[in-house]
Each structure stands twice: as C-alpha cells, then as structure tokens.
C-alpha cells in the first residue's frame, strides 16, 4: 500500500481521485479513468476542482527528457495535461478561490520563491527574508551507469581541474529519501565538504522515490545488496567523466545513509576506504515494524532475509569482508527513532572482530542535530576523521 499526499479524495462530483500504479507508471486516476500516462510520475495531488486536478510530478519513463531532480506542477483533466511551472527546479503549489501560489526552488538561487497567480497570470511575488546561506553549490546533475542512476556531483569552488580529487559519497540511498534534486539548499552540506577538497557524489539508486514504481519496489527483500551495488555502479561510471581518485573514497550518511555507509566499508572495502556512520540501523529486527515489514516481511517468517540485510546479528558482524576500513560511528543518546542500541551492537561486534573504530556519543541529541553549534562542530569532526582515515595530510 502506497500513501501519497492529497489522496484518496473525492472530486466535487463524487468521483474517487487517486494515484495508482498502472502499466509500469504512477498515474493520476479520477473515477475509473487514468488521466496521465508514462510521461509523468505523479507524486502528490495538490488541489481538486470540478474542472481539473492540480498535481506535482516528475518525469516518467517515457518523458522526452529525464529532467534529473526536477519536480513540476501540472493541471490535469480529461482534455490533457498542462505544465504550470516552467523553469527547471523543484516546484509545489497551493490553490484556493481561483488563486494559485507557486513555490519554486532552483539550483541557481538559495531558498524558495513564492509567486501568486490568477487566471494563468502572475500577479504578485511573496518576498522571502530567509538568510543567505553563503554557499553556492557547484553541482552537476547527471545519470550514471547502465541503469541511469540519478546523480549529483559537486566540486570545490576553487577547483581548476589540475588533478583527481579524493571522493566522498554523501547518500541517503533508501526509501522515501530523494537527495538528487534540482534545488540549491539541499546541496549545501555536500558543497561544504567539496570545498574542503573532495569531489562529492550523491546517487539515488534503486529504492529511492521519484522515478518509477519498479525503481522504488526493487528493494523488496533486499535493502542491502541492491542499494549498495547502485552506489558502486554510480561511482565507477562517474569516474569515467569526472576527476575522481578511486584510491581514496570515503562515504558518509545518516539514518538509512548511515546504514549504507557502514554497509559499504564492511562489504565492499575494495571500493570504499572510510565511513562516517550516523545513527545507523544495524540489526533490522530492532527497527520500526511498519517500515521494515513493508520491505522485508515478518522477521519470524523471513529470518534469513533479515540477517542478510543486517550489519550485525546475535553472532556478530554479518558478511563482513577484508580488509578492515576505518569507521566513525555517531549516535544521539536520546534518539527515539533509531535507538542507540543499534550503534552499541555494531561497536560491540566490531570490537569482538578486532576491528578498530571510533564512537562519538551525543548526549541529549535525538535522531538529528538541530542545535547549530553542535551541528557545525559535528561536521568538523567528520572532516577531521575523513582526512585522517584517507591520509589526506
């Protein structure tokens, strides 16, 4: 069962409005009739009137252009589909009383711009007083490898192309988390790391949203091998077109991204040489039922599936390969989402296996680090670890 914003709902005439997977595409349907096809991947219903349905959607499998990382707003009815947003970027909207407020983010400017439209014409712009972040991402959005994995590559602002750069993968990589987006602010942290001398790679492999139903559902019974392989494939494909030093590859991530970072150095140490592992899920039996059972089934019925996808089990590390790679584990002790027992079990298993690692416990911190000073210093500690682990001088 897939849940989408704005649906199910009823049209003013009493017809059911829904988003459905039909013919390999994610479509808008009103009543029994699909109103969109494989050109669009419908993501949310924003408003419903008797005349049309306002939706947000990204490019579908049969779109003329992949429009990597973009999300647009469309008016849809029985007569066809009309794009409301025009410029490249990530767009959403609200509509009421004949007035549409279009909110747009783009790669070339920080924050979001809100414009008021009536009768198809722009009538006003809502001024933003958000603080300028002071960073401008030097980002290229591309597709990598045979599966055309959506990727973002970020280079240092002062990079002149004189030599290959050490690489830092910065993924989320799992369900419900799209990181490759055509917007400025989501790339700020990655750009900060790039400005410290890395080529930063972000790849949205199978399991991430925004591409197709099959792409999202490819991780059924396999949150490990499929997801990790796409990171490896994207990295190796991008190295053909970008100055990446594959002898110095680090990876960092948080939550599912932390799980993926640990998975990378434990199972593919031939590719990855150091990992920053933030708030990772390590024993999948310990995580939320509604999330894990959606992808892996019931643990009592599929114990082998849970073991294969976990980093640790009751016997220690699962399928860990040689050689050992440096790992920094970070976890908030007040985390009520991914409880700290996950990181404690991973550290215990690493110790039992004779694998040196670093553990950074964060007192009073939950799953994320909203405190400005803590967040800033945490980035600096990660940078220090990566420089030491990758021997960057």
Q: Which residues are catalytic?
A: 255, 335, 367
Per-position b or e across 293-316, b if 16+ CB within 10 A of its CB: eebbeeeeeeeebbbbbbbbbeee
Nearest to 204 by CA among 225, 180, 224, 223: 180
Backbone angles phi, psi at 233, to 5 degrees: -65, -40
Residue 207 near residue 175 (C-beta atoms within 8 A): yes
Residue 350 near residue 317 (C-beta atoms within 8 A): yes
Residue 148 near residue 228 (C-beta atoms within 8 A): no
Name the packing angle between helices 256-267 and 225-238 (round to 10°).
80
Residue 259 near residue 295 (C-beta atoms within 8 A): no
**28 pairs with which residues across the strands?**
19
Within 13 A of 44's CA, how many CA atoms are on the CB side? 13
3-state helix, strand, coil in the chain (%, to 5): 25, 35, 45
d(CA 382, CA 384) in angstroms, rounded, equals: 5
């Amino acid at each position: 069962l897939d849940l989408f914003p704005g649906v199910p709902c009823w049209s003013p005439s009493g017809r059911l409005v829904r988003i459905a997977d039909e013919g390999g595409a994610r479509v808008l349907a009103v009543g029994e009739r699909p109103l969109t096809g494989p050109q669009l991947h419908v993501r949310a219903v924003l408003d419903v009137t008797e005349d049309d349905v306002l939706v947000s959607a990204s490019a579908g499998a049969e779109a003329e252009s992949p429009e990597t990382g973009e999300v647009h707003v469309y008016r849809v009815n029985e007569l066809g589909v009309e794009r409301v947003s025009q410029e490249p970027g990530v767009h959403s909207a609200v509509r009421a009383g004949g007035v549409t407020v279009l909110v747009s983010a783009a790669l070339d400017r920080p924050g979001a711009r809100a414009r008021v439209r009536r009768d198809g014409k722009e009538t006003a712009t809502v001024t933003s007083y958000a603080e300028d972040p002071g960073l401008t991402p030097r980002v290229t959005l591309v597709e990598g490898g045979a599966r055309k994995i959506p990727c973002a590559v970020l280079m240092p602002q002062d990079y002149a192309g004189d030599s290959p750069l050490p690489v830092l993968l910065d993924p989320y990589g799992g369900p419900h988390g799209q990181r490759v987006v055509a917007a400025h602010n989501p790339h700020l942290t990655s750009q900060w790391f790039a400005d410290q001398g890395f080529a930063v790679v972000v790849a949205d492999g199978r399991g991430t949203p925004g591409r197709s139903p099959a792409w999202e559902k490819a991780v059924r019974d396999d949150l490990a091998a499929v997801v990790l392989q796409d990171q490896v494939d994207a990295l190796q494909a991008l190295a053909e077109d970008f100055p990446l030093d594959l002898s110095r590859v680090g990876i960092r991530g948080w939550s599912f991204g932390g799980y993926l970072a640990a998975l990378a150095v434990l199972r593919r140490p031939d590719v990855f040489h150091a990992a920053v592992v933030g708030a990772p899920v390590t024993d999948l039996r310990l995580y939320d039922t509604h999330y894990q059972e959606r992808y892996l089934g019931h643990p009592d019925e599929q114990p082998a599936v849970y073991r294969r996808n976990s980093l640790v089990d009751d016997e220690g590390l699962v399928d860990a390969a040689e050689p050992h790679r440096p790992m920094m584990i970070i976890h908030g002790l007040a985390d009520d989402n991914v409880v700290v027992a996950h990181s404690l079990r991973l550290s215990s298993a690493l110790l039992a296996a004779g694998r040196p690692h670093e553990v950074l416990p964060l007192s009073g911190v939950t799953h994320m680090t909203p405190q400005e000073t803590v967040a800033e210093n945490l980035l600096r500690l990660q940078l220090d670890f990566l420089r030491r682990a990758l021997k960057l001088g």
